Amino acid sequence: MSRKRPVSRRPSTSSHPNFIKGSYVTTIAKEDFIQSIANALQFISYYHPPDFIKALGEAYEREESEPARDAMAQILMNSRMSAEGHRPLCQDTGIVLVFLKIGMQVQWETDMSVDEMVNEGVRRAYTHPDNILRASIVDSPLGARKNTRDNTPAVIYHEVVPGDTVDVRLAAKGGGSEAKSKFVMLNPSDSIVDWVLATIPTMGAGWCPPGMLGIGIGGSAEKAMVMAKESLMDPINIHELTAKGAETPAEELRLELFEKVNALGIGAQGLGGLTTVLDVKIMEYPTHAVSLPVAMIPNCAATRHAHFTLDGTGPAMLEAPSLSDWPDVTWSAGASSIRVDLDNLTPQEVAQWQPGDRLLLNGKLLTGRDAAHKRLVDLLEKGEALPPGVDFRNRAIYYVGPVDPVGDEVVGPAGPTTSTRMDKFTETMLGQAGLIAMVGKAERGPVAIESIQKHGAAYLMAVGGAAYLVSKAIKASRVVAFEDLGMEAIYEFEVRDMPVTVAVDARGESVHRTGPKKWQGIIGKIPVEVA
């Protein structure tokens, strides 16, 4: 994201006191730096970068898989709604990453450290009353994992470089995509392509494809990881590279991986389709003769990053994309969608759902994710009663941790979280609590699928990265238990026509298994194993 450069107020004569030994010493004021960080984080919470919108729009046009096209339509419409409403693209508003290049001719007018100023910017952004962002950071990951309430601290990288400006690249990285980060120490003669193609299918769809892959090659273990992350800050330009042709080994590898990863057929949200990645980025660094460190980090449907430079003339101003940058895509539930009354749901009705069926949920939907599941299962295993108002018999649960509402909103953006984290609780929730349907994002693992089949339940998938769109289907919300867990409390939502897809049916058939296999065969560039 480029910065609209303000008119320079810098003096033009070398007699100015900041002109020392032939170059300027730029003074960066505390408030300018903090407010620039805060503004940029607010900005990226609701504006996708234009290159991402363009690439996703083109992928939507090319897509031939109907479920994947439907998911992309939801993400594009969600993107436009967020831009118009200035509300987050996703309920997971991310962990803040900041890459700073600080010029050696820069001096600071501040009583705070650079990191303290960055964190003050994060604090202001995430608690902004007009657009509260979800605080997701917990301190002491080994301890009580207490939420810091303002999304601090950020993860900050500093580089001191020649020059008299401060260059800032920042991102809000979703936890679902971060959780799929991979690293390997290959032998120099090993194939990076083979490792990537073997690894991507193990990542499932919890990283909310389509997105980008950042790959760091060389250096040491930690250097490769940082490069993989940093590479994701660059704009999407694979089609320009395709047109120009590769001139370096890294560019050759980008093109090869782009084609072969998409040939895996994983598709949007893992439903099977032509586009899994919109670009593959690579950064490399010299390494030890015996090593080939390779790190791979995906970026999700909520790709959020900005870039600005401070030159001492005031805070950065980011240029908002024009609404004409969004493709003219309007998502609506297809005529074949099945309306479901959650208040009178029966196991017999659930048993009739087929994999890939599109459902519109209506009625009362309980929520719960990691922390709530842990407490519920602890209570059930001790034979204790669930909290008053929490009755899962013949009910559906939604794995979600919504953003707090603002203004007259019932709830803030409320998209699904990664379901596999709830797999280990599924047997107890189906077998003892009486649940018959679950709503989340991406695939289920073998343990959960076995329980779904055993109890004749179903798993329904909502689109990760379409949180603001989904929240419009929630007409009422109240906390019914575990209020102390904040966004992880158990809510009861009243939903109207909430769109979901049957991802695992009562017989245990999973669209995340069948969809990619089918599209890998159709694309026909990777051998498909015969089951």
- Site residues (vs ligand SF4, CB under 6 A): 90, 92, 174-177, 207-208, 300-302, 415, 464-465
| Residue 223 or 373 having the CB closest to ligand SF4 | 373
Q: Which is nearer to ligand SF4, 36 or 276 (CB)?
A: 276
- The alpha carbon of residue 1 and the mean position of all alpha carbons in its chain are separated, in whole angstroms, by 18
Q: How far is the CB of 383 from ligand SF4 (least distance, A)?
A: 35
Output the smallest distance, CB 410 to ligand SF4, in A: 20
Specify the residue, 350 or 411, whose C-beta has the smaller distance to ligand SF4: 411
| Residue facing ligand SF4 at closest CB distance | 174
Taking the complex as a whole, the smallest distance from the CB of residue 415 to ligand SF4 amounts, in Å, to 6
CB 379, CB 505: distance < 8 Å = no
* 270 Cβ contact partners less than 8 Å away, ≥ 6 residues apart: 204, 205, 209, 442, 443, 512, 515, 516
In whole angstroms, how far apart are CA 432 and each of 354, 391, 393, 451?
25, 11, 9, 12
Q: How far is the CB of 361 from ligand SF4 (least distance, A)?
A: 19
Ramachandran area for residue 163 (φ above 0: left; ψ -120 to 50: alpha; else beta): left
Q: Select 208 or 226, whichever has its Cβ closest to ligand SF4.
A: 208
Q: What tokens were used for 391? A: 């009755």
Exposed e or buried b per residue across 167-189, where buried means at least 16 C-beta atoms within 10 angstroms of its C-beta: bbbbbbbbbbbbebbbebeeeee
Do residues 306 and 42 lie in contact, with contact meaning Cβ atoms separated by under 8 Å?
A: no
Residue tagged 């017989």 (tokens):
507
Give the nearest distance from C-beta 464 to ligand SF4 in angstroms: 4
Instruction: Using CB atoms within 10 Å of the CB of residue 24, give its burial: 0 to 12 exposed, 13 to 18 middle, 19+ buried.
Output: buried
- Given the DSSP bridges, would you call strands 317-318 and 338-341 parallel, antiparallel or unpaired? unpaired
Please identify, using beta-carbon distances, which residue of 465 and 515 lies nearer to ligand SF4: 465
The HSE-up count of residue 481 (CA atoms within 13 Å, CB side) is 18
Residues 6+ apart with CB under 8 A from 350: 436, 437, 456, 457, 458, 506
471/400 Cα distance (integer angstroms): 11
Identity of the residue, 90 or 215, whose beta carbon is nearer to ligand SF4 in the bound complex: 90
Which of 92, 505 has the CB closer to ligand SF4?
92
249-263 helix and 511-523 helix, angle to the nearest 10 degrees:
120
| Cβ density class 229-252: b for 16+ within 10 Å, e for less | bbbbbbbbebeebeeeeeeeeeee
CA distance 165 to 27: 9
Question: Least separation, in Å, of the C-beta of 292 and ligand SF4?
Answer: 28
Of the two residues 174 and 219, which places its CB atom closer to ligand SF4 in the complex? Answer: 174
- Asked if 315 contacts 231 with a C-beta cutoff of 8 angstroms, the reply is no
Minimum distance of ligand SF4 from residue 309's CB (angstroms): 27
Among residues 196 and 466, whose Cβ is nearest to ligand SF4?
466
* Residue with smaller CB distance to ligand SF4, 310 or 500: 500
DSSP-derived secondary structure letter, 299? E
Please state the closest distance from residue 269 (CB atom) to ligand SF4, in A: 9
- Provide, rounded to whole angstroms, the least separation between the CB of residue 307 and ligand SF4: 20
**Least Å distance between CB 268 and ligand SF4?**
11
